[in-house]
Structure formats: C-alpha cells, structure tokens
Structure 1
Amino acid sequence: KQKKTLPSDVNEGRTVFIRNLSFDSEEEGIEECLLQFGELNYVRVVLHPETGHSKGCAFAQFKSKEAAEKCLAAAENDSEAGGLRVDGRKLNIVLAVSRESATKLKTNKVKLHKGSRNLYLAREGLIRAGTKTAEGVSSADMAKRTRFEDLKRAKLKDVNVFVSKTRLCIHNLPKAVDRQRLFKLCLSAAGGGKGVRITECHVMYDRKPVRGQVVGKSLGYGFVEFKEHEHALQALRHLNNNPTIFTDNKRPIVEFSLEDGRKLKLKAMRQQKSKEKPKPKQKKSPGKNKPAGTRSDHRQQNKGAQSGHFSGFRTKAEVEHVEMEDGKKRQKVLPMPSHRGPKIRHRDKGKQQPQSKKAKRGLSRKDRKASFSHPRNKDNDRFDNLVAQYKNKLLGASSSKGSLIKKSKWFS
C-alpha cells in the first residue's frame, strides 16, 4: 500500500481535492471514475481520526498536470447531466494546495461551523499517561479513564451518536454524594452566578432495596445538564481531575455526555403525543340559555343526595312533549324498563350475563298435603288400594251377601 501522506509536489498542479463524496464511497470507485482522464499515483479518502469514518472528501494525484486539468474542466460542467458522479453524488473537485498554504488559509479563515456531532468536544478533559496532567493520578483512576476512552471511541463509530454540548457525565462519585450535593458542587464549579442554570441533575442508583431503603446503592456516576454550553465547559474544566474535590486518590472524571439521536427523536415524539392528548372536560356551570332539566341540572340537584344511594333508580325530568288532538301538549310519558335485573350497558349487549344462583325450591303445597295424608309406607298402601279395586270389580257390591253375580267383563 502507498503512504497516505501527501507528497511535497502538490503545488505543481497534479493533485486535486474532491468534496461531496458519499460516506460509503471507497477509493476503488473514485479511481475508476478518474482514470478516464489519465493515470493516477494515488487516491486517498480522508478519515476522521476519532471515529474512522469518511469525512466525505478525498485527495487524488495524477501523473501528469494535463490529466489533472482535464479532470477539473470536466467537473466544472454545471449542467444536470454534466460533471463527475460517484455513487450517485456529483463531485466538487478543486486544485489541492500545499500544507503550508492550507495552514495559512486555516488561520485566516473564521470557522463558524464545527459539525453537527460536536466531535471536537470528545477530547475535552482527556488525560494521557506520562503527561504533566497525569502526575498524581492513581493507577485505578487512569485505568478507568482508559476504559471510558475506549468505550467513547466505540460508540462514536455510530453516526447517530453525537457529543452533547450542555450535558456532563461525572464518574468516580463517592457513595455518600447524592443529588443535592452534586447539584451544589456543579453549580459552584460553573461560577455560581445568577445566570448559571442547571436543568437536570441525577445520580444513578442500582434501584435494589437494601435494608428497607427504596433507592438502593449509588453506582458512582451521574449526569448534570446546564442551560448554556459555556457554563458546562467551565464546570468540566474545574471538576475534572481536581484532587481537592473528593480525595487525591479518587478524583472526578468528567466528560461531555454521548447522546443517541434516534432515542432523542423517540423521546420528543412521546412528549409531543402527551401534549396532544385531549384534556378532561371540566364541569360547566349551568348558563342562562341552557334548558332546564338537562343532565347537568340533574347532577346539581342530586349533588346533596349522595348519601341516599340506597333509594334506587332516580328519574330525570323530560323536556320533550307530545301534541294532542285538541292542540294542547302534554309531557312525554317515559316507558318502563324493558327488562328486569341489573342494567345492561350498550357495550355488554350480546354477551352472556352471569346467572345468579337460585335458591333451592321446596315441596309444593300439593306434595306437602299428600305427604301428611298418607302413611310413610307408600308402597304397601298402593298395593292394598289396587287389591281393593279389583275385588270390587270382580265381586260387585253384593259380595257381602256371599252370592256371585255374573259380570260381562271384569275390566269393563
């Protein structure tokens, strides 16, 4: 592979600087587009040193000055179909300058925009081992800082993650530091003036109850958000690695918090939906033009009779009238309820209603009377009755005289 440093002959007019590249564009695709103008020495995509992502620009050096001039002329075509395109994006190509010229232009140019992700704040408060600022830092604190720096680099590889300008993440908090103490500490670190305003202050807990405590144990870190970036920056520079805040062996580790743009959008959508929810209707006092006998009037009348809930269903005054044949009007008569039992609401129509348990019915009056008139042995009584009936049919009424009377049929 060729070296990624620019050669010293960029001022000879053979090196071009390419803008408006897609973040997914690779050097092979750019080289394929530029080879139509001449042979190339190299094509280099500019990468961000912190994240390793493309910055959307690249350098390319031709072997001849004429090839570079052809490339510049083709890129200056402003028509819709003209110009040079890579991955669907129209390239903006200019002649590159030397490092000395670029440094002069950078010092003379006022930089207004520092990127939407605020990556320049990712290095704020960084302490490297072996430097003067690392003197007196314990090995445990330095190991924590190294681990946090590696996590930050890994998270910033996601293009949706950015560095907040007003929210601080404070590590190495003692267990005894609560929200109130952290609030006062950050407020005094930012100057403590009337203009300093903290909009958020939280100490993170494990939320597991210990010995009856609902909050639980502190996790040793928290978040503080200021209204202004200047106050947050001042607080970070005062608290970070300060040996006089807690102890010399356990110093605060303060950095700007990393935020996920996708989660913030979802949070904003939830807040917007909560604002759009209809507010509950307030009870309005009866006006002059409101007809008497409405539901609100009925509620006003029965407001003092809440203790009489046992009195049952309460009727409502009906304002509708029915015209009679003689032209007079009479009050509309309300029909009786269509069914008995509990009220069936509209939402419960068609559903099977729970049936109440019926009490066991006793014997009927006829059965009770029969049980008292007959003896207990019912089977023997029934047999005796049948024998007596057949005897009367066969022998007739004169059986007492001892003479047999001929009958036509015994069963007639």
Structure 2
Amino acid sequence: LSKEEEEQQAAGKASQAKAGAKADQQQQQAGKDKDKKAAAPQQKVGAEQGAGEEGEEGAAPRAKPGAAAAGGEAGAPAPAPRPVGATVFVRGLPLDITNIALQAKMEAYGRVKSCRLVMDKASSKPKGTAFVEFKSDEGAKKAADACARHRQGKGPGVVVSGRAVDVDLALTQDSARQLAATKATDKTAGKDKRNLYLAKEGDIPKGTPAWLGMSEHDRAKRERAAEERRTKLKSPNFVIANNRLSVRNIPFAMSEGQLRALAIKAVKTRASKENPVVTQVKILREEEGGKVGADGRPRSKGMGFLEFEDHTHAIACLRALNNNPTAFTAERRPIVEFAIDNVKVLKKLEAIKAKHAQHAAAQQAKASGEGGRPAKKT
C-alpha cells in the first residue's frame, strides 16, 4: 500500500473506535437512569416509614430505610438497625438542659454514642425528655438500674442539674403502644388509691449539687418534713392528694393573692399555652390574738397550700417552684410537695358538707311551698 492509503485506513479505524466508545457511554448512561428510576419509589417508601419516629413516648427512634442506600451501590446491604437495648429514655429533665450537659452526665454509666433532646413540634421547645444511646447495652442497663434503685429508696438515682430524673430502657414502637394501653388500664383501675407514687415528688437526694447548694436551714427543714411524711404514710388513714400542694418557707409578708399569682406563673414557665386554675389558696396563720403581720391580719406561719383543678398543673407547679432560688429567697427556698390528707378528717368534712347541702335543699323546698300556698282568710 502507498503511504496515502495507509493514512486513510488509520483514520477510518480511529473514527470507528471513537463511535464505538460513544455508543458504550450512551448505553451505560441509560442503565444508570433506569436504576435511579427503579430506586425512587423505594426512597419514597423509606421517607414515609420514617415520618413517625416518635409516635409513642419512650419508643426508640426508628431508622429511615430510604437513607440506607444513600452514597452506596445498588443492592448494597443496609446498615444494621440501632439496638434498642443500648438506648434509654429520660424523663423529667430541666427544660434548659443541653445535649452536651446531658451527655456529660450519662457518660458516668458508659460511653455515649448519641444524645437527642425531644422537642415539642408546636412550640419547638424541649419537652423535658430525651433519648440517650450508649455504645453498649451495659451502659444503658447501668443507668436504668440506678434509677430503679432510687425508686426503691436504695440509692441517689440519676440526677441531672440537681434534679432526679427517670431513666428507662427505650422500647420498640409496638412495646410502647402496649405499655401505653397498660398504663391507661391501670389508671382507670385505681390500684394506687393512696397515690403513694407521688411521695418522692419534690424530694432532693442528699449529696447532690442541689442539696449541697441549699442553706442549712432548708436542709434541716426538708429532713423534718420527710420524716413527718414517712411517719404519716405508715398509717393507711393518710393519703396523698393528687392536686393539692403544701408549700413551706412562704415569706411572712406574702399574701394569698401573691402566692396564687406565683403558682400560675410557675405552671406557665413549663407549659406556656396552658391556663391553670387554682381552686384554693390557704396560708396558715397565727391564732386570733397572737402575732399580727404588717397588714393587720394574724401573722403568717410561712406555710400554706395550693389546690389546682388539674393534676398536671399541680405537678408542673411543684417542679418549677421546688428549691427555686429566685422564687422566694436563696436562703429560704420553696419546699414543695404533694399534701397529705387524713382520710377520717376528709370523711367528716364530706359528711358536714352533705348535711349542710341537705339542710339548704330542705329550706329551699319549704320556701317554695310557702310561696305557692294560698293566703289565709282573715
């Protein structure tokens, strides 16, 4: 072949190779588009399944299947789901707690993998609960066991920012639903007729930062109050009121109206959208003829009672006011707990009320009868 023919043949081969490469690229691109189209419905399903990750209280957040294949090859195995046994659900947290502070506290029980505060969807504010995932089941179990011992009065429990919190192993979604149903049944059954589960509300464990931060006066008063509570509750004649609080260390100059306003404000700091109703406020005072306050009334004894219409408002008030250094004074902080009632006294009061109501009804009936009776002839 001549030199010119050899150059033409070489050019033809190069053109064919270029065309073949282009066809291969187009075929590969078509295959990728097909894979993406097939994967799209799966990702949509994954997003829908992950939408309700906090449907039940205490249930560990579910993994989102749609995110499993992100950045991976088609057909790659999804990562193993987070083990529920390594996750705990924490309740009763201060509303100003941070992830960092909570994680630092929980590290005492084991290495923490992640910590997530639960936020209220409506207000975007913390709900006072969180999920903490440990790197091993052992750390989660230690934290839950510490809380369980505290409930039995055998240890200080888990204390965060001076407040004892509830820590339980997180549940699966199905288990959480079953537990919610069980609690509802138990609540209607009224097994704890004396409300003894409220006995520890307001209690501050010795040796905690909150205990060490209070004055000697408050420590001594709390110890006396705790001993008095234990003594009373040994008798079946005493029950814990579920919507009435006892408050100690009330400033002598504080009036019933001021205490009512303080209680309502305290509830709103924890539940801003609520409208709490305080049905009764009572401050214990000296007997007539005794010491007199600046307002001319018998002097306050520094102790009183707050009764709410709703139990949830009572417990919110307790948690906001109890040991609060800004509510009264730093040296004499509020000592708030659920009030203890004497069953025999309650029954007597109910009998007196019933008798008064019966007498009032009889008087009204008599007045109505006389009003409709024709006048006598004279």
Relative to the length of structure 2, the TM-score reads 0.46
Tell which structure's C-alpha radius of gyration is larger: 1
The structure showing larger relative contact order (alpha-carbon pairs under 8 Å, at least 6 residues apart) is: 2
Relative to the length of structure 1, the TM-score reads 0.42
Higher share in helix: 2
